[in-house]
Chains A and B, each alone.
Chain A
Amino acid sequence: MNWNIHLPALIIAVPLLGAFAAPLAGLGGKVTRNIWFVAVSIATVALSIMLWQHVQAEGVVVYVLGGESWNLTLPSGLSWPIRIILEVDAFSAFMAIVGSIAAMAGAFFSLRFMERFSGLDKFVSLYFLLMAGMLGMELTGDLFNFFVFLEIASVASFGLVAFWRDRPEAVEAGFKYMIVSTVAAMLVLIAVGFFYGRYNAVNMAAVARMMHFGYPEKIALVFLVTALAMKCGAVPMHMWTPDAYTEAPAGVTCLLVAVSQASLYGLFRVCFSLYGASLGSSVVPWTIIVLGVLSMFIGVTMAVIQKEIKRLMAYHSVSQIGYILLGLGVGLLALKDPQAMADYGFTAMKGGIYHLFNYTMYKGLLFLTAGALFYAAGSRNLNDLGGLARVMPHTAFMFVIAAAAIAGLPPFNGFVSKLLIYESTFAVYPVLAIAALVTSVLTLASFVKVFQTAFLGPAKSVFANVREVPATMLVGMSILTVVVIGLTLLPTWSLANLVEPAAKALVDQAGYISAVMGGGL
């Protein structure tokens, strides 16, 4: 029996099973719950790597949930796909790997980080629901199913952001995040309603096949771009990002970073595979490029002046999202013109997608090191910290690696993806590349400030009995460090085998459609 065909459904079903069975696992006390937490996370990573290999071998993989057979998208005589169809191409499999590695690191980290708090059964359930929602967003081929998984991930993350409920700022951050997120989700639902009303189908491939660009499609595109940019924290809808990322527990923030990438995945799936070449004029690509540049700039300038570590990193998060929007916006701009695509468009897309992977890894690692500092030293304020490098050498080392990667220092992976983005955007409009370079310099400046303040300097007497963080937290951080170092040492391999198939799959709208509409065969 070839179990490989069931992989798309299993990747979503295993975290769901983990979420539903967490109260049972919690019956056996702390040990069984921790074992369950770690086991399901590792299983999800293993399944996503197997799925990626399967997609590399087979091309676009479809899975019909609840049908007669796993690939029977068009049953006897129908010309419309029925049932919910999961459609996994190289970009989806890439995002699934990224998300599940970040989730596993956060899970290992949260084992000891959260142990002083109560209600940990619910924490594990919510964490797995967030993971299932993120993976569902990335693997589905159905617009309404995308909305449902978006809402599953959002509601789970509301609960997790407000998890430290005795802390007023956390509840305030959770409330603000909820309002913005719900408005975004309702916009997505209205856009899905528009598509259903026009084409009588919610399957992405079916709608893409029948798409012709009239007024309702324009309105739906505006709603979708606004809502998904709102969900991933692009300026000017980024107000929730500093609050929510700061007040969530550190392991959860690592996963929230990956969940924002899933909304970014949705944005690019809509722009490239749903609308594709029928996007009409170049207003939408330029809008995305402008949003990207604004995010980069406003994110980094707000970050330089922050005094609290996690809030500083959250503003950097906004600016790094700008890089990805810039890269993929340029790719979208070049979509209609094969010559432009070969010149700079494809490089920009590769840069954007590679930056997505790098960003999730090093930003997750940065948030985890900030959490480790908080766990050991009890404070997140840069004015209080100092001289911690001697007592926490491992954390300091991993922080240096992550900070060098985010600032784009050669030879780290951040440099590779940023270089691809610089070269391709320079060919479109030189000011874009200049903005990206200035942002990079300011990023380096703020991280030098953080490192110097928190880790270097004379030891403070308040921190006399601070020790290194426990082993499981170090394991969580080292997972991400290993991936960052791996990407640093093997840039050519990762670009050729991970990023390039993903970029090709994103551009190939015809392949995406025919995987479902061609009977799934």
Chain B
Amino acid sequence: MQPLSVIVRTICDIFAWFLAIFGAYVIIHGHLSPGGGFQGGAVVATFLALLLVAHGGKKLLAFVKPGIYSWLETTGLLVFIGTGFAGLTTVFLYNFLSGRGGLFGAVVPTGPNPGILNSSGTIALMNLAVGLEVIGGLSLIVIYMFKGIRLYEEAGSEETGHDR
């Protein structure tokens, strides 16, 4: 994939970080406004797609390490299932953090209010976990799909052992 012109690359360098911040905003405010883990994660993953389109494939593959995204994905998933198991003394996936004070545990007043970011317990924690996971997963999809466009594989990297 060829890199695009200087104008596009400069604008991309300036504004791509806006995508990342906006995606993080959507993830974090998932329990207050429309959004949440998957939606915000998908927005952050378009950050990588924008870099790919603007700077071209070779530069992107030199810059990006798939291992980081793989670990982001695993971390998100483990936090998610860990939160589920942590409430097991009552019920699996019980919201043991809400209304207790402390992390994510602010008490929410009834009636319309501007929305308290620190509330809603494990829901906010799981939003963050799913957000991390989706960032990792979708970025990996973009990277591997791009790598797959190169249709010539080096000989000897094919796997044998099944009958062909």
What residues of chain A have their CB less than 8 Å away from a CB belonging to chain B?
1, 6, 9-10, 13, 16-17, 20-21, 23-24, 63-70, 116-118, 164, 166-168, 170, 374, 378-380
Report yes or no: A13 in contact with B159, Cβ–Cβ below 8 A. no
Interface pair B163/A378, CB less than 8 Å apart:
yes
Tell whether, in the assembled complex, residue A66 and residue B95 are in contact, meaning their CB atoms are under 8 Å apart: yes
Task: Determine the distance from Cα of A167 to Cα of B160 in the docked complex, in whole angstroms.
Answer: 9
List B residues 72-125 near A (Cβ within 8 Å).
74, 77-78, 80-81, 84-85, 87-95
CB distance from A346 to the nearest CB of B (A): 36
Main secondary structure of the interface of A (DSSP, over half): loop
Q: Pick from B91, B159, B164: contact of A65, CB below 8 A.
A: B91
Name the residue of chain B whose CB is nearest to the CB of A24: B74
With beta carbons under 8 angstroms apart, the residue of A6, A23, A166 that contacts B88 is A6
Q: Which B residues are in CB contact (< 8 Å) with A166? A: 158-160, 162, 164
**Looking at the complex, which one of A13, A64, A116, A380 makes contact with B85 (CB distance below 8 Å)?**
A13
Cβ-defined partner of A167 (8 Å) among B84, B88, B92, B162: B162
B163–A379 contact, CB under 8 A? yes
Interface residues of B in 10-29 (CB under 8 A from A): none
Cβ distance B151 to chain A, nearest Cβ, rounded Å: 14
Contacts A6-B91, A9-B92 aside, 5 further interface pairs with beta carbons under 8 A come to A13-B81, A20-B78, A69-B90, A70-B91, A166-B158
Across the interface, A380 reaches (CB within 8 A) one of B77, B158, B163, namely B163
Contact of A118 among B93, B159, B162 (CB under 8 A): B159
Is B70 an interface position by the 8 A CB rule? yes
Shortest beta-carbon distance from B1 to chain A in Å = 23
**16 A-B contact pairs sorted by A residue (CB < 8 Å):** A6-B92, A13-B84, A13-B92, A20-B80, A24-B74, A24-B78, A66-B87, A66-B93, A67-B91, A67-B94, A68-B90, A69-B90, A69-B91, A117-B159, A118-B159, A164-B159
Q: B78 near A66 (CB under 8 angstroms)?
A: no
Task: Decide: B74 and A23 in contact? CB cutoff 8 A.
Answer: yes
Also in contact, A66 and B74, with CB within 8 A (given A13-B81, A118-B159, A167-B162): no
Q: Give the nearest-CB partner of A20 in chain B.
A: B77
Distance, CA A65 to CA B93, complexed state (A): 6
- Taken together as a complex, chains A and B put the C-alpha atoms of A40 and B84 apart, in Å, by 18
Q: Which residues of A contact B90 (CB under 8 A)?
A: 68-70
Given A17-B85, A20-B74, A64 contacting B161 (CB threshold 8 A): no
Give the A-B contact count at a CB cut-off of 8 A. Answer: 66
Contacts of B161 in A (CB 8 A): 116-117
A16 to B158, CA, bound (A): 31
Nearest Cβ on chain A to B147's Cβ, whole angstroms? 13
Q: Considering the chains assembled together, what is the distance between the CA atoms of A116 and B161 in angstroms? A: 7
- Chain B min CB distance to A380 (Å): 7
CA distance A24 to B89 in the complex (A): 26
Given contacts A6-B92, A9-B92, contact A164 B162 (CB under 8 A): yes
User: Judging by beta carbons under 8 Å apart, are A66 and B163 in contact?
Assistant: no
Task: Tell me, in angstroms, the Cα distance from A68 to B163 when the chains sit together.
Answer: 55
On chain B, the residues within 8 Å of A168 by CB distance are 164
Min CB distance A413 to B, Å, is 33
Residues of B within 8 A of A117 (CB): 159, 161
A117 to B162, CA, bound (A): 9
Q: Which residues of A contact B164 (CB under 8 A)?
A: 166-168
- Shortest CB distance A250–B (Å): 11
Contacts of B81 in A (CB 8 A): 13, 16-17, 20
B131, chain A: closest CB distance, angstroms: 16
Chain A's closest residue to B80 (CB) is A20
- Complex Cα distance A116/B159, Å? 8
Contact residues of B between 42 and 91, Cβ < 8 Å to A: 70, 74, 77-78, 80-81, 84-85, 87-91
Q: How far is the CB of A16 from chain B (nearest CB, A)?
A: 6
CA–CA, A118 and B70, complex, Å: 16
List the B side residues contacting A170 at CB < 8 Å.
162
Q: Judging by beta carbons under 8 Å apart, are A10 and B159 in contact?
A: no
Q: Given the complex of chains A and B, what is the CA–CA distance between A66 and B97 in angstroms?
A: 12
> What is the bound-complex CA distance between A168 and B89, given in angstroms?
49
In the bound complex, residues from chain B placing their C-beta under 8 Å from that of A118 are 159
Complex alpha-carbon distance, A379 and B161, angstroms: 11
Minimum CB distance partner of A22 in chain B: B74
Measured CB to CB, the closest approach of chain B to A117, in angstroms, equals: 6
Whole-angstrom CA separation of A161 from B144 in the bound complex: 19
Q: Which residue on chain A has the smallest CB distance to residue B93? A: A66
Contact partners of A66 in chain B: CB under 8 A:
87, 91-95
A6-B92, A67-B91 are contacts. A21–B159 as well, Cβ < 8 Å?
no
Chain B residues within an 8 Å CB radius of A63: 91-92
Contact with A along B124-164 (1 / 0, CB 8 A): 00000000000000000000000000000000001111111
- CB-CB nearest 4 A-B residue pairs: A9-B92, A20-B77, A66-B93, A116-B161
- A471, B6: Cα distance in complex, Å: 62
Question: For A9, what are the chain B residues with a Cβ–Cβ distance below 8 Å?
Answer: 88, 91-93
The CA of A20 and the CA of B83, in the complex, are separated in Å by: 13
